[in-house]
Chains A and B, each alone.
Chain A
Amino acid sequence: MTDTAAAPPLARDAAPPRPMWHVVLVRPETMTLVLLVLGVIVGSQLSEFFLDINYILKSFTLSAEFAIVALVLTMVIIAGEIDLSPASNMALSACLFAWAQQAGVPMPLAIVIGLVSGVAMGALNGLMVIGLQLPSIIVTIGTLTLYRGLAQVIAGDKSIRVPEWFTGINAVFIAGIPVPVLVFALLSIVLGLVLGTTMFGRQIYLIGTNEVAARHAGVRSRRIRMILFLLMGFASAVAGLMTASRLGSVRYDLGLGGELQMVLMAMLGGTYIFGGRGTILGTFLAAWLLVIVTTGMIVANWLPAWQLCVLGILLIVSIIATNFIYSRTQR
């Protein structure tokens, strides 16, 4: 970021190809990485805990559910759409699951009900956006309200307990890593490979850059965007069940306001809000950055209200910075 000033202004058609270090350095993900390192350094001044990897991993389990959804959301935003409903989707699929198992449905079937309902909710979003060509912003504002409302209808104001053995997924460790974090890491690798190396991934970028051109080039834009919305629904349902397992009970306000954190993770990771640019790596780094920041605020004893302010400001600053970087480096 600091090196842009050093380069003399050249006529654009005569500009030589940028050196590799320049390309790598002036990327939003680099900014995220720098902030992440800075965060750890500042955090370690605050408290010894920040250098304890186990403490960080444990803190991460609190946001891992949102982070998992944020990975898929990154792909949706790259494809030029947005989904604000996943947090409500998490609540409704978790409520349906909890309600079903309380009504005597066997556990495996109840889990399937939760997952299928999540996919169905994604399908409804997709049908409204793709089938009816409505803007995804307003559609998902509508479904955000609807899904949360339905969860409230099902669960009322009470909390539904889940069976003992289902609880505590965050306390299960595989190779010293809590399961939610492991799921997040594995999903990052898989989606990173899909987005970065496969034709499907390239087509997502193409759709987000210019949907009409992509369609004329033979990209099945409608199908791909539908797949993304279905994937979004599935990821939200998984995240909802994981949250239910972590909390041990389900209420209609599960994950309330989570859409802010998910969008924030995608934006902090340098995903371009207008579509066509962004990486899974960026969102992966941003999720850790966000955990460091929120943990730092908790360790420093800041009021939760300050955290609301910081999250809001971070969101706005991160899109300004990302837009700035893209407008300077990649026309």
Chain B
Amino acid sequence: MSLLRSILLRREAGIAVMIVLFCLAVGMVKPQFLTLGSLRIVLLLVPLIMIGAMGQMLVIVARHVDLSIGSMLGLTAMASGMMFRHYPEIWWPLGFALSIGVGALLGLFNGLLVTMFRLPAIIVTLGTLSLYRGITFIMSNAKQIDRQYVPSALKSMSQTSPIFGIPWIIFIAFGVALLTYWFAMHTRVGRQVYALGSNPVAAPLRGINVTRVTLLVFAISGAFSGLAGILYASRWGFVNPSNTGNGFEFQVIAAVVIGGVSINGGVGSVAGTVLGVLLLGCVSAALPLLGIPGTTQSAIYGAVILVALLIDRLVRMQGQKPATAGARA
């Protein structure tokens, strides 16, 4: 009984229930929502957000935030796209290496600025958001990478695979989630990320190399953005210097905060983040079915961030003892 209780009281259970209720509600209005076809739509919507969310989750758990991921996605996708355009004969998986490598370097640069000069991540990444987008424009001469330059083998990754025809990109996204789970829960550095976020003052006193851990989470965030970048090229088949990845950071932050990652650091799970991403995917897939125009999408992401913050706050208030809650107010 107490096991069931503890499962039900977990944050993840709440999100799972919300997903089920939402799908049932939409299914009542539009029965075609509850079919395998729309599951495929949902699963094709989420991979990029899921990969970005894994990196962002680690950054937020460490009590930072990374606003530059959309620009990093654009820059890394452009880098690979330009490589494909210049060397059409190149072995195409090299695009993954290039994008992930460039992304890790960009993330490392964010991390260096944050750790070396003790700057707040929000301002640093607001600056690099602009800087990386500018670099993307300059290196591409503001020209788009068109469909014919993206290798067809790369594009087919988003369409099919030998395993039941489920696209590779979905396997990659869930693979990244598993990898992040292993990193966060079963490695020493992963646990140090949580320790750092729970108490940044105590962390160095306990022998945690704060600089190293911070650099690592930003580098991971950049590398995952790079992976999302090459998969963007695969999914959409083109790379545009201004659109690619624009606003990606808000979708990812929305997914992460719905997933129960606390913005005060130290709290957050991969399972919750995955569920948060799926909920966001269900909402996005349901909108066109319900006849709601696509222009509402951004407003919904914003509202979702605020509602998730609200829930997070209410949950924390429940946890507090009444006396302390009164003293704070």
Contact = CB atoms under 8 A, between A and B. Distances in A.
B310 A132 contact: yes
B305 A142 contact: yes
A310 B137 CA distance: 13
Interface residues of A, number: 47
Given A150-B299, A312-B127, A320 B313 contact: no
Contacts of A134: 263, 309, 313
Contacts of B257: 138
A145 B254 contact: yes
B69 to A, nearest CB: 13
Interface stretch (A9-17, A50-58, A63-71, A300-308): A300-308
Given A146-B305, A307-B134, A273 B263 contact: no
Given A134-B263, A141-B305, A142-B309, 17 more contacts: A128-B309, A132-B313, A134-B313, A141-B65, A141-B250, A141-B253, A142-B302, A145-B298, A152-B298, A259-B126, A273-B120, A274-B120, A305-B134, A312-B128, A313-B131, A316-B123, A319-B119
A135 B134 contact: no
Interface string B127-163: 1111111111110001000000000000000000000
A139 interface: yes
B306 A137 contact: no
A260 B302 CA distance: 19
Contact of B133 (A145, A308, A316, A319): A308
Contact of A145 (B130, B137, B302): B302
Nearest to A85: B302
B24 to A, nearest CB: 26
25 contacts: A128-B306, A138-B309, A139-B309, A141-B65, A141-B250, A149-B299, A149-B302, A150-B302, A153-B295, A259-B126, A263-B123, A273-B119, A273-B120, A273-B123, A305-B136, A308-B130, A309-B130, A309-B131, A309-B134, A311-B127, A312-B130, A312-B134, A316-B124, A319-B117, A319-B124
A251 to B, nearest CB: 12
A236 to B, nearest CB: 16
Given A152-B298, A309-B135, A146 B130 contact: no
Interface of A: 82, 84, 128, 132-135, 137-139, 141-150, 152-153, 156-157, 257, 259-260, 263, 267, 273-274, 303-313, 315-316, 319-320, 323
Contact of A308 (B67, B131, B309): B131
A305 B119 contact: no
A320 B65 CA distance: 18
A149 B134 contact: no
Contacts of B310: 128, 132
Contacts of A303: 137-138, 142
Contact of B119 (A135, A153, A323): A323
Interface string B240-281: 000000000010011001000001100000000000000000
A139 B306 contact: yes
A157 B295 CA distance: 8
B138 A306 contact: yes
B194 interface: no
Contacts of B264: 135
Interface in B296-317: 296-303, 305-306, 309-310, 313
B130 A306 contact: no
Given A142-B309, A309-B131, A315 B123 contact: yes
A136 B124 CA distance: 17
B8 interface: no
Nearest to A157: B295
B122 interface: yes
B130 A311 contact: yes
